[in-house]
Structure formats: C-alpha cells, structure tokens
Amino acid sequence: MSDTMTDGDDPTRVAIACQGGGSHTAFTAGVLKGLLREWDDEYELVGVSGTSGGAFNALAAWYGLVTADEDKAIELLDAIWEDLSASSLSDQFMNNFVVGLSRLGSTGIPMLQVSPYDIPGSEVGKDEIRETLERHIDFNTIPDLCGRDTPELVVGTVNINAGIFETFTNEAVTPKAILASAAVPAMFEAVEINGHYHWDGLFSQNPPIDDLMTVDAGRKPEDLWVIQINPQEREGEPTSLEEIADRRNELSGNISLNQELGVIERVNTWIDEGHLPESEFSKTDIHRIPMGRQYHCSTKVDRSPGFIQELMDLGEQRAEEFLASRAGSLPIETTS
C-alpha cells in the first residue's frame, strides 16, 4: 500500500483487527475486500490481526499486500474462501449434515457429545485447512517478507498449559499457529507448538489488539478498525445447550475485546486531560465495523457457497458504509 499523499501530509496509520466466528468470518473477508478495493493514500496499513477464521483473513490480506498489492490480497481472500466453502457434492452433503445436527441440537433435543480425541479421522478438517492455506500462501517466505516497512501480522491463540493468551507475530506465523488459532476444543484436537498445547483464540483475544499497539512509536496506529462478528447485544434468553454455548463464546470474545479497547480509551482520556504528555504518548481512535445482522448459531458451521457469498457481500456493503462514514456522509460507528 502506498504511504505517500499528494498534499505532502503523512498518511493516517491504520491497524485492522479481525474477529473470528466460524463461517461468519466470511463477512470479515468481505469487509477487507471492500476496504482494500477503495483504499486511499491517506491511510497507511501498519498492522493486521486475527483470531480463528479472522486469522485466515488477516493472513491472506497481509500476504497479498506484502507480495504484491491490494488486488492480489482481494484475489487471495476470494480464492481461500472458495476453497473453504462446501462446493463438491460430498462436501455439500457433509455440510448439510453438520448444519442439520447443529440446528437440531439447538431445539433442545439431547445430542451425543464425543471428544475429538475419540473420533477416527478427527484431524481431517485441520488437514484440509492447512492444505488450503498452503495452496495459496508460501509460509517459507514469511520470515523474509517481514520487516520494518511491512504491516505487523498477529494471530491469537490460547496456551492451554500456561493458561494464558498467546499470540504469534510476523515470522512466527506458521501453519501450526493458524491451525492453533482455529482449533475449536469440541471439534479439533489441540495444536502443539514449542512444547505447549493451544486452542482456538475465540476464548481469548478475539481479535488481538495489544500486539498492534505495543510497537515503535512511529508505527503505532492512529486509527484502529475492528471488524466485529459477535453481536454486542442479543435479545431473548438462550435456552438450548448450543445457544448457551454460542452466546457464552460471543461474550467471552467481546468482553476480552472491550477490555483491551478500554485500555486504549483510558490512555486517550489521560492524554486529553493532560495526565500523559502528548510528546511521549499518542492517541488511537477506535472504530468498529459490525456485522449488524444476527444469524442462528448453527450457521457458524455452514460452509454452503451461497451463504458464504451472502456474508462476503454483506461485508463489502458494511465496508462501503464505513468508508462513506469516514468521508463524513454517515455517522461513524465507534466505541462509547
């Protein structure tokens, strides 16, 4: 991305954080496509982070940008999600079966729950994700691509053994790191990295924020754009085990996110009130790009091409609205 402007002013440094949420992260891919397609020289991308499916999107956008340009990043996002969608007849059958089970479970009918460690071939899903990513991204080149002039790349996971959030950044982003970020405990076995086991980052930093902020002062984002999958508010009471688990996961991700954003807002306030010198501390404006539409919890495992395309189209629509808001024609969605 260009970091020069025609009027001679420095571009606004922007970091983008991509929340995870199963198939719903196709929405995030759509938002990124919309943002990249209309990217203006008044912005400089200095970082991108993601968790779970958000990590797929962050990686694809980052890799496309640092190896080529915005068009390449958009092409990669489309290609990866085309491969992830259930396009073959056998895949469509399995997808409909899984979605049907999820929807049936949400009606309150007791369902047999089995550990992924007790299911033969439970690693097939992870293998397919790895093969898809490696088909489009040469992970061996990532260490050479990372540098001072490239955006930060951050992937979020949970370290089961240490009991902490753990992020993988830049050259540490490997296929294992991406798979660890997407290892939903009830569906996939944990991923071992450096002697510790890791689970899905949806339970922790969803998406990672701190790593985007703790960089050199000249690279710290002035704007943070959060692509938010999980609804902040939901009407009604979750009653089935699936609905309860889904809302619990949404809350754990959002609460963690809001805590990290709250730290940024507190620093902004202290700067405004003169408690922190502007010569040493800088403010970061926070903007959210929410999905703004609620779907049944079963759709988080729905990989049907039509649904994936619907989510990507919605994401592009939200990106268009967001960019219009930045131009002053619509109210900006911000934290409060």
pLDDT tens-place string over residues 271-323: 999 988 887 888 999 999 999 998 887 888 899 999 999 999 999 999 999 99
The whole-model pTM stands at 0.88
Are 199 and 165 contacting, i.e. CB atoms less than 8 angstroms apart? Answer: no
What are the E-state strand segments in the chain? 12-18, 43-51, 152-159, 164-169, 191-193, 196-200, 223-228, 285-290
User: DSSP letter string over 252-275?
Assistant: HHHHHHHHHHHHHHHHHHHHHTTS
Of how many residues is the chain composed?
Answer: 336
- The 3-state secondary structure of 57-74 reads HHHHHHHHHHHCCHHHHH
pLDDT above 90 as % of the chain: 52
pLDDT above 70 as % of the chain: 87
pLDDT at 329: 46
pLDDT tens-place string over residues 103-136: 655 555 555 567 777 676 667 878 889 999 999 9
* pLDDT mean over 154-172: 93
Q: Which residue type, as a one-letter code, is found at position 315? A: G
Residue 22 has pLDDT above 90, yes or no: no
Q: Bridge partners of 153?
A: 48
Torsion angle of the four alpha carbons 77, 301, 116, 110, in this order, in degrees rounded to the nearest 10: 170
What are the E-state strand segments in 19-68? 43-51
Q: How far apart are CA 285 and CA 247, in angstroms?
A: 28
Helices (DSSP H) in the chain: which residue ranges?
A: 26-37, 53-67, 70-84, 89-105, 124-136, 142-145, 175-181, 210-213, 241-272, 305-326
How crowded is the C-beta side of 51, counted as CA atoms within 13 Å? 33
What one-character DSSP code corresponds to residue 12?
E
pLDDT band at 206 (very low <50, low <70, confident <90, very high): confident
The radius of gyration computed from the CA coordinates of the chain, to the nearest angstrom, equals 20
Residue of 85, 133, 90, 130 whose CA lies nearest to 311: 85
Are 294 and 231 contacting, i.e. CB atoms less than 8 angstroms apart? Answer: yes
Q: Which tokens in the block code for residue 151?
A: 């955006």
Q: How far apart are CA 60 and CA 84, in angstroms?
A: 13
Other CB atoms within 10 A of residue 34 CB: 23
Question: Cα dist. 206→175, 254, 333 in Å?
Answer: 19, 7, 19
- Strand pairing class (285-290; 43-51): unpaired
Residue 60 has pLDDT above 50, yes or no: yes
Query: Which residues 6+ apart lie within 8 Å of 197 measured at CB?
Result: 159, 160, 161, 190, 191
What one-character DSSP code corresponds to residue 214?
S
Q: Which tokens in the block code for residue 72?
A: 């390449």
Q: Which tokens in the block code for residue 296?
A: 């049944």
pLDDT band at 5 (very low <50, low <70, confident <90, very high): very low
